[in-house]
Amino acid sequence: MAATERTLVLLKPDAVARGLTGRLVQRFEDAGLKIVGLKMKHMDADFTRKHYFDLEERFGKGVYDATATYMQQGPVIALLLEGVDAVANVRRMIGTTFPAQAAPGTIRGDFAHMSKTYAEGTGKAIANLVHASGSVDEAKYEAQLWFADEEQFDYQTLAERYVF
């Protein structure tokens, strides 16, 4: 049975700098996902380490350092989204990590272009516009990291009332 879940989405510094935030948020709302938390934030070194706590262990110091530099170059917009199977549906909507491999119709496939080869050759993080929680457990951790309880809202949308 499908479950209502919450998931974190970050509109990364490249999405903010390119002025894509409204178009990206609209995609999530158009898909029936509800915004239950929203904020803009600069990620300092401590907060970046908390968010990407296992990245260095999984992929190495170079990947962590490039990602941290990328995420700290400008503000990010954090969205806490709620919906049926929100984690899996958001991951499907954003496309694969590497934009050059992302399918057309996904956020990364439509708006990003950097290849893994280019990123590795330049030592840069992959500018892929968005982060989305990778699992339900990760989403719960990230939701609590980014949003205090009083910053998470409960309300009913018209879509919930009439469609779901």
Which residues are part of the catalytic machinery?
131
133: nearest Cα among 36, 5, 27: 5
Q: What's the token pair of residue 27? A: 């995609």
Phi, psi values for residue 162, rounded to 5°: -105, -20
CA distance 55 to 83: 27
Sheet containing 130-132, strands listed edge to edge, beginning at the edge strand earlier in sequence: 34-41, 76-84, 4-11, 130-132
CA distance 153 to 77: 17
What Rg value do the Cα atoms of the chain yield, rounded? 16
What are the start-end ranges of the H helices in 10-80? 13-17, 21-30, 45-51, 55-59, 61-71
| Contact present, 89 and 9 (Cβ < 8 Å) | no
81 three-state secondary structure: strand
